[in-house]
Amino acid sequence: MMLEEFEKTGKQALADLKKVVDLGTLEEFRIKYLGRKGRIMQMLGELGKLPREQKPRAGQLANKIKQEVSAAFEQLKQTLAASQEHKVKELIDVTVPGIPVAMGRPHVITQTLNELLEIFGRMGFSVAYGPEVEDEWHNFVALNIGPEHPARDPLDNFYIEDDILLRSQTSTIQIRVMESRKPPIRIVAPGRVYRPDTVDATHMFMFHQLEALVVDEGISMVDMKTTIEQFIHAFFGLETRWRFRPSFFPFTEPSAEVDLLLRDKSGQENWTEMGGCGMVDPNVFDAVGIDSEKYTGWAFGFGIERLAMRKYGITDIRLFFENDLRFLEQF
């Protein structure tokens, strides 16, 4: 009796398959017969209840029925899928305007960097690049940062070997340029830098800097002030107010911080630090073989993320690196 039930189930399945006209009803058929709780699976589960002498014949019949139904199902599935695709193609009206394709765009940091390089390019600066893996000579020693300076603490740098580390500032590019070129020098140096800071809304262990260096005869603080003012007005607008604030850096003397007067969301104006600058220290010139009696120079360094945050009102540096399209599509 059970073998007859098996044959009846197989014939019924093939008969029902002939009634299927689309992929939706085909899926209903699959669930009814070939799903985990379908009739074919139930049929195979009944094999264990048969006497031992009937199991071989019943097993062969059940497997044959399953293979036949499965093969017919797959063939019909391919036929219906091809038919549906053909219908979709027939519905395309070539006279209708095409569907817009979503295009990518440069990241907001890339956009900011390109704008900065364009501004300084108009002022006559060339662009210089350098390695991100540096030695202590270029990262510290040549920049007048002595062995006892806290900036050289291994806990504040990503050391790879005793004398090799990921650069902590793009000032290393300035040293490499002055080693290989004779004045006059007028360059900007963009790039990634690395410091093991605790990540929060204003700090990241990897960020971008843009530094500038000018070396020539007769260079003074007036030249630096004029260049920075032109840059601020070109990038932030002519009405932007800014100031110098006395500071100290080992590689510049005198040194200053550059602050902008910016308005927050509440309308309150606050002075906000943007970066450091100053006249190149004679010790730096001596380290790279430039006559400090003949030449003078100035340098400054700004964080690119910080510039973008101030320009676009971004309050969390982590947004630049999270790849959230809701944020990126705004720029």
Are 20 and 58 members of one domain?
yes
Does 188 have pLDDT greater than 70? yes
Establish if 102 belongs to a structural domain. no
Average pLDDT over residues 229-253: 93
Tell me how far apart the alpha carbons of residues 133 and 165 are, in angstroms, rounded to a whole number.
6
Structure confidence by residue, pLDDT tens digits, 270-290: 888 889 999 999 999 999 999
- 206, 238: one domain: yes
Q: Are residues 48 and 116 in the same domain?
A: no
Question: pLDDT tens digit string along 74-87?
Answer: 887 888 777 766 66
Tell me: do 118 and 228 sit in the same domain: yes
Q: Are residues 81 and 135 in the same domain?
A: no
Task: Please report whether residue 71 resides in a domain.
Answer: yes
Per-residue pLDDT, 30: 80
Number of domains in the chain: 2
Report the range of poorest mean pLDDT among 34-38, 231-235, 294-298.
34-38
What is the CATH number for 168?
3.30.930.10
For 18, the domain range is 2-90
Which of 295, 171, 284, 275 shows the shortest CA–CA distance to 228? Answer: 275
Same-domain status, 55 and 172: no
Note whether 52 and 146 are same-domain residues: no
User: Between residues 150 and 85, which one has the greater pLDDT?
Assistant: 150
Q: Look over the chain and give the mean of its residue pLDDT values, rounded to a whole number.
A: 87
Q: Give the sign of the dihedral formed by CA 190, CA 195, CA 199, CA 201.
A: negative
Over residues 38-74, the pLDDT tens digits come to 777 777 777 777 777 777 777 777 778 788 888 888 8
Specify burial of residue 67 (Cβ count, 10 A radius: 0-12, 13-18, 19+).
Answer: exposed
pLDDT at 231: 95
209 and 134 share one domain: yes
Q: Is pLDDT larger for residue 19 or for residue 117?
A: 117
The share of the chain scoring above pLDDT 70, in percent, equals: 95
Q: Is residue 96 part of a domain?
A: no
User: What would the mean pLDDT of 155-174 be, rounded to a whole number?
Assistant: 94
